[in-house]
A and B are shown apart, each in its own frame.
Chain A
Amino acid sequence: MISYKKIFDKAALEGLEALELYASETRNFSFSLFRGELDSYSISDSASIEARGISNGKIGYATTEKFDSTTPEYLVSRIKQNAELTSSDDPGIIFRGSERYRKKNVFNKKLSQTSPEDKISLMKGFFSAVTAKSDKIQEVEISYEESEETVTLTNSFGLRLSSKVNYAVVFAQAVATDDSGETKSGMMFRVLSDPDEFNTEEAAAEIVNDTIRQFGSGPCDSGKYRCVFSGDAFASLLGPFLRNLSSDEVQKNSSLLAGKIGEKVASSKLTVFEKPLEKNMSFRYFDDEGVATSNKTLIKNGVLQTYLYNLATAAKENRESTGNGYKEGGSAIGVGLRNVFVKPGSLTEEGLFEKAGEGVYITSVSGLHAGMNAQSGNFSLIAQGFMIRDGKLAEPLSLITAAGNLFDMFGQITAVGNNIKIRMNGFFAPSVLVRKISISGK
């Protein structure tokens, strides 16, 4: 990419008190199939350096993808200018390093060494398996996206940390039409660290079942129902809930969980962990500030255990960072999470239906960017699912809205399922049973 030394030398020459370079290199390979034939194919390599530096005690940022002789000058001059304009109370901190790091190898050579042709033929086989399962399936789009990411964090205190990960995501969408002309769509995804992990038959059965079981769906009567949320639907709601554990939100008076450490904030059935050291695609042994990460319990039997800190928010409370300093889109460090796990309960999903007796099973919610207010906890989301009658799934539901308040809802979880697996947002979550949710339909 470019010599880091030249940038550090320039920074020293210009009088920056400290400098951190967060370099990432990403290689992607992806393709998609339409009607079983190769439709698009893409390869890429990209690199960037996100730099942060301290000038007169204040922090400034600059990022570049342009690597030539002008790079050190660009980064250092913009950092100086931006640091001067900053008026934040947040202390600018470049980290000297943790005592101990738990590095693990999560790079899978087999994935990167398998040929593109073999990956394409694996997906073609998947396509055939999907279409063989039902003649109602009209269209299937399958995409395969593989990434290799290397992150290197170096700073002027001599810290140097590096992490390399690779994984592939298979995503499929099917459209089915029945005799009456009704159209339904369904989807499926898998995260792979090894091509052999992909079970074609099982994945095909999942997407076909997810699509055709929706035929004949419509809204139910509006009212309050006992609800089973699928793992996907529950994971979608857990994200906004956990945002309230951010020390940044707490310190800025924007979290309704402020002042609740050691108090009950959810049902005693709910226990949630963060496991950044779990060996998978989200593994990271250091956060984006270079602080060593650790596995921890966030909520234990409904009781809030900790907020999440980065260096700046921790300094304000005179405590240590919890290793949750992550970039949120820009170069600035926010608060984030990796590898959220919900502790599984004892019931299967069918067991949850049985326990519910009569109610609604919500398979997915959408429109979170619009219908979810993580601060107030109020949500009103379009949902899909099924009626639960006599402890079993009954007719499919569509065009319904599930509305409630996150904080109330998490308090009303009466059972947690044992079907924990990775969900679309990267959380490992099971299905849950909730006492009462407002559903509007007809």
Chain B
Amino acid sequence: MITKSTALEVLNEALSTGADFAEIYLEEDDQTTINMDNGKVESCDDTLTRGAGIRLLKDLRSVYGYTNNITRAGLLRLARDLSASFDGERLLTVDSITKVRQGKKHLPKIRYSEFPREELIAMLKKSSDACLAYDEKIVRCEISFAFNYKTVEIFNSTGKQFGDVHSRGRYIVTATARDERGIETFHHRPGAQKGMEFFLEEVDLDEEARSAAQSALTLLGAKECPSGKMTVIIGNGFGGVIFHESCGHSLEASSVSKGLSVFSGKKGEKIASDIVSAVDDGTIDGAWGSGNIDDEGNPTARNLLIKNGVLTSYLVDSFNGRRMNEPGNGACRRESYKFEPTSRMSNTFILNGKSTPEEIIANTEFGLYAKDMGGGSVNPATGEFNFAVNEGYIVENGKISYPVKGATLIGSGKEVLLNIDMVGNDLLRAQGMCGAASGSIPADVGEPTIRVQNMTVGGRGGTIK
């Protein structure tokens, strides 16, 4: 997007007052969103974003700025404004820039821009019809289909140039069921960092839509979940949000390095039950949170976070790594040029254990089976979290007994990890958008079916005796 000579000039301008590191991040992102409501295209929206972020580091201070004006003059002005926040002497000068060779994974086979939009809309319409036809109580089907093609270029004061391309697509279907008992909604939202081939070959949109309809109907007939402490079986796939929220965020260098995380200084210590191992893996081919490089140019990695219950690694970006004496490990991400990058998760999940999901249910005398989870949040200082159960069932005498709604799981990350007493062998990943300091980024959560002892369940269906 800019020439090497412009990059050199801007980096050297940025370094003029004593910064020890400078970086230019450029991005152009062509995004399309199609919204359908009960089979009709409500809107079709194209957005082209383009801009640059400049980051300067000096010891433990960072300075960041961004602009849409990526001309030489615009970038030089931003570099000058940012460098004014330091008042030292120049420490280094960049003489030349070399392009770094890197992987070329995660590229689309069929570019969304080359797939006819009429055909795509016909596919969405067909799935909407399948959802609405599932049952007369299904009163509304909303579909959103979004895809993008994002090109990234990074130049930094070590004299290196990096580049990457991200093309993602996601289908979100929301089914609303209504009868005299009330209104319930349920959604499915598969996505990948692949091209249109993902929706032609790997995902059956009609099936996704029907399944959302079925779950919304189940909720209509569900009883309110009872509350109290109980055994909770958390389903595979999006159930991994428990790990993402209660543990993953607390392993990010942004809070670890400042002593703000419950896991600060705990490397080598046991933080989870012996049967728990977990990774963050930004290298998985075509996965939602993958990349060839992270957003500061480091190659992405498969980082083993927990091995048999012992904390083995944090997620580190090079700036926060300065406080920890650790190099960045490919976990530095940002939503766009409008965000200063920091340590974030990519595809984070608990690894397979030995039990089958059937065994886990059969071994549970009484408990809640949280088959599908909603989102959640965590307080990184205390590790306290909450998340909603989208689809839940009461398990009695080793069998799934009846559906429940309105359940919330609450607790603290520290305790829950230690209270996992069974881990299934059915690992599945699911797509989410993770929001934190550097914006909203695509991230996979995941896990096999797991069982947690003595978890607090919130609900309106009375207290468990």
Contacts of B63 in A (CB 8 A): 40-42
* 0 or 1 for each of A52-82: is its CB under 8 Å from B? (1 = yes): 0000000111111111000000100010011
- Is A188's beta carbon under 8 Å from chain B? no
Within 8 A of A (CB), among B351-393: 374-377, 379, 381-382, 384-388
Contacts of B382 in A (CB 8 A): 183-185
Q: Is there an interface contact between A376 and B459, defined as CB atoms closer than 8 Å?
A: no
Report whether over half of chain A's contact residues are helix, strand or loop; otherwise say mixed. strand
Contacts of B45 in A (CB 8 A): 61-63, 82, 330-332
- Given A43-B81, A367-B386, answer yes or no on A88-B406 (Cβ-Cβ < 8 Å): no
Alpha-carbon distance between A59 and B406 when the two chains are bound, in angstroms: 39
Contacts of A139 in B (CB 8 A): 258-260
Alpha-carbon distance between A314 and B69 when the two chains are bound, in angstroms: 39
Report whether over half of chain B's contact residues are helix, strand or loop; otherwise say mixed. strand
Alpha-carbon distance between A256 and B35 when the two chains are bound, in angstroms: 23
Closest to B69 in A: A45
Alpha-carbon distance between A331 and B33 when the two chains are bound, in angstroms: 10
Contacts of B386 in A (CB 8 A): 366-367, 370-371, 381-382, 401
* 0 or 1 for each of A371-385: is its CB under 8 Å from B? (1 = yes): 101011010111000
- Is B159's beta carbon under 8 Å from chain A? no
Within 8 A of A (CB), among B110-152: 117-118, 121, 139-140
Closest to B146 in A: A330
Q: Is there an interface contact between A366 and B46, defined as CB atoms closer than 8 Å?
A: no
Min CB distance B68 to A, Å, is 5
- Given A74-B48, A381-B386, answer yes or no on A42-B64 (Cβ-Cβ < 8 Å): yes
Closest to B45 in A: A61
- Is A90's beta carbon under 8 Å from chain B? yes
- Is B206's beta carbon under 8 Å from chain A? no
Q: Is there an interface contact between B43 and A88, defined as CB atoms closer than 8 Å?
A: yes
Contacts of B51 in A (CB 8 A): 46, 65
Q: Is there an interface contact between A332 and B35, defined as CB atoms closer than 8 Å?
A: yes
- Is B176's beta carbon under 8 Å from chain A? yes
Alpha-carbon distance between A184 and B260 when the two chains are bound, in angstroms: 11
- Is B190's beta carbon under 8 Å from chain A? no
Q: Is there an interface contact between A373 and B185, defined as CB atoms closer than 8 Å?
A: yes
Q: Is there an interface contact between B387 and A370, defined as CB atoms closer than 8 Å?
A: yes
- Given A175-B260, A254-B176, A256-B183, answer yes or no on A332-B42 (Cβ-Cβ < 8 Å): yes
- Is A157's beta carbon under 8 Å from chain B? no
- Is A47's beta carbon under 8 Å from chain B? yes
Within 8 A of B (CB), among A291-315: none
Alpha-carbon distance between A141 and B437 when the two chains are bound, in angstroms: 13
Contacts of B99 in A (CB 8 A): none
- Is B49's beta carbon under 8 Å from chain A? yes
- Given A65-B49, A376-B184, answer yes or no on A86-B44 (Cβ-Cβ < 8 Å): yes
Q: Is there an interface contact between B463 and A222, defined as CB atoms closer than 8 Å?
A: yes
Q: Is there an interface contact between B377 and A60, defined as CB atoms closer than 8 Å?
A: no
Residue from the list A81, A330, A367, A376 in contact with B183, Cβ < 8 A:
A376
- Is B3's beta carbon under 8 Å from chain A? no
Contacts of A330 in B (CB 8 A): 33, 35, 43, 45, 47
- Given A81-B117, A253-B178, A370-B386, answer yes or no on A401-B410 (Cβ-Cβ < 8 Å): yes
Q: Is there an interface contact between A440 and B228, defined as CB atoms closer than 8 Å?
A: yes
Contacts of A43 in B (CB 8 A): 65, 78, 81-82
- Given A370-B386, A380-B458, answer yes or no on A46-B118 (Cβ-Cβ < 8 Å): no
5 A-B residue contacts at CB 8 Å? A371-B387, A375-B176, A376-B184, A380-B388, A440-B227
**Which residues of A approach B to under 8 Å, CB–CB?**
34, 38-48, 59-67, 74, 78, 81-83, 85-90, 116, 138-139, 141, 173, 175, 183-185, 219, 222-223, 252-254, 256, 330-332, 366-367, 369-371, 373, 375-376, 378, 380-382, 398-401, 403-404, 438, 440-442
Q: Beyond A367-B376, A367-B388: 5 further Cβ-contacts under 8 Å?
A: A42-B65, A330-B43, A400-B458, A401-B410, A440-B227
The 10 residue pairs across chains A and B that have the minimum distance between CB atoms:
A401-B458, A382-B386, A440-B227, A370-B388, A82-B44, A185-B381, A370-B374, A367-B386, A63-B47, A332-B43
